[in-house]
């Protein structure tokens, strides 16, 4: 007869059903590494690209690619700020950002006013972006108004203010801004609409180009509507105030 030792026979351990523990640990290690890589990219890539574009023109932008896909073509001719009419930066400051030379990339009063306006009239969105913010968006980012893009835009704005300075920001702005379907930069726009280089552009011509910037796909430089004509006159008159007050002196023109 077998001898009873008083100990229960040990049962084999049964692993719970589901993904093995080792596999689950590997998955979360992968997620952590991926997040780390994304954080490193977010920290390193923006400053690096801003440093590069401090010295060289951007070959193309996301907006240009988007318009190409939409069938608008691409006319993009880079010119240095010294090869443009002084009326162009004066018109840009008069129309888009009168505090360009004195702000540090953000106009919080304008942003607050735009937010209040958009709450009251959601069907007519009003922007509060400075020239620096617009430049950051146009050079590095995609069109849109989502909060993620605005947050990235703010980071790029801080970087270009610190690394580029005002003359380079204005130079970049006037070279990549869209003046019409597939027409980018003051040189291409001046040649396309007035058949002359940007260096020969008059004050009235500069004002008319800048007047269409809020809606370049709808407002026409060649055949401006009544609103664009009024807007052009307002910018033309405001340019005198900008010059007399030295409000565009930071661009060195």
Distance CA 200, CA 177 (A): 19
Using alpha carbons, list the distances in angstroms from residue 229 to 111, 187, 209, 226, 242: 26, 22, 11, 5, 20
Answer whether residue 4 shows pLDDT above 90. no
Domains along the sequence of the chain with CATH: 27-251 (1.10.3810.10)
What is the per-residue pLDDT across 91-112, written as a single tens digit (0 to 9) for each?
A: 999 999 999 999 999 988 877 7
Give 154's Cβ-side CA count (13 Å radius): 11
CA geometry: angle at 239 spanning 171 and 211, to 5°? 70
Sign of CA dihedral 146, 147, 148, 149: positive
Answer whether residue 114 shows pLDDT above 90. no
Instruction: Among 22-26, 133-137, 162-166, name the one with the lowest average pLDDT.
Output: 22-26
Q: Is 195 left (phi over 0), alpha (psi -120 to 50) or beta?
A: left
How many Å separate Cα 90 from the centre of its chain? 21
Q: Give me the residue label for tokens 């405001």.
A: 238
Secondary structure letter of residue 251 according to DSSP: G
Closest to 136 measured CA to CA, from 151, 122, 126, 119:
151
Q: Which residues have a Cβ under 8 Å from the Cβ of 159 and sit 6 or more positions away?
A: 46, 47, 50, 136
Distance CA 213, CA 1 (A): 101
Q: For position 45, what pLDDT does the model report?
A: 84
Q: For position 140, what pLDDT does the model report?
A: 96
The mean per-residue pLDDT over the stretch 114-139 comes to 76
What is the per-residue pLDDT across 184-229, written as a single tens digit (0 to 9) for each?
A: 999 999 999 999 999 999 999 999 999 999 999 999 999 999 999 9
Q: For position 124, what pLDDT does the model report?
A: 54
What is the per-residue pLDDT across 77-93, written as a single tens digit (0 to 9) for each?
A: 999 999 999 999 999 99
Confidence tier at 123 by pLDDT (50, 70, 90): low
pTM of the model: 0.82
The mean per-residue pLDDT over the stretch 17-27 comes to 65
Q: For position 166, what pLDDT does the model report?
A: 97
Closest to 172 measured CA to CA, from 182, 181, 159:
159
CA geometry: angle at 103 spanning 230 and 62, to 5°? 70
What percent of the chain has pLDDT above 90?
70
What is the per-residue pLDDT across 35-50, written as a single tens digit (0 to 9) for each?
A: 888 777 777 788 999 9
* Longest Cα–Cα distance in the chain: 117
């Amino acid at each position: 007869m077998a001898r009873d030792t008083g100990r229960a026979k040990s049962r084999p351990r049964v692993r719970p059903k589901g993904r093995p523990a080792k596999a689950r640990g590997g998955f979360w290690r992968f997620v952590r590494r991926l997040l780390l890589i994304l954080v490193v990219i977010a920290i390193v890539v923006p400053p690096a690209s801003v440093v590069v574009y401090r010295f060289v023109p951007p070959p193309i932008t996301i907006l240009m690619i988007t318009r190409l896909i939409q069938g608008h073509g691409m006319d993009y001719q880079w010119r240095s700020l010294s090869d443009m009419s002084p009326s162009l930066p004066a018109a840009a400051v008069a129309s888009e950002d009168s505090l360009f030379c004195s702000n540090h990339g953000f106009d919080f009063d304008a942003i607050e006013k735009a937010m209040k306006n958009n709450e009251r009239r959601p069907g007519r969105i009003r922007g509060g972006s400075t020239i620096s913010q617009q430049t950051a968006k146009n050079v590095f980012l995609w069109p849109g108004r989502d909060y993620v893009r605005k947050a990235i835009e703010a980071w790029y704005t801080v970087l270009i203010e610190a690394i580029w300075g005002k003359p380079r920001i204005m130079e970049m702005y006037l070279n990549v801004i869209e003046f019409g379907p597939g027409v980018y930069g003051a040189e291409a726009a001046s040649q396309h609409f007035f058949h002359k280089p940007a260096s020969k552009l008059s004050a009235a011509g500069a004002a008319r180009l800048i007047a269409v910037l809020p809606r370049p796909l709808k407002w026409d430089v060649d055949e401006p509507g009544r609103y664009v004509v009024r807007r052009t006159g307002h910018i033309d008159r405001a340019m005198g105030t900008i010059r007399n007050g030295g409000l565009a002196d930071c661009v060195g023109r």
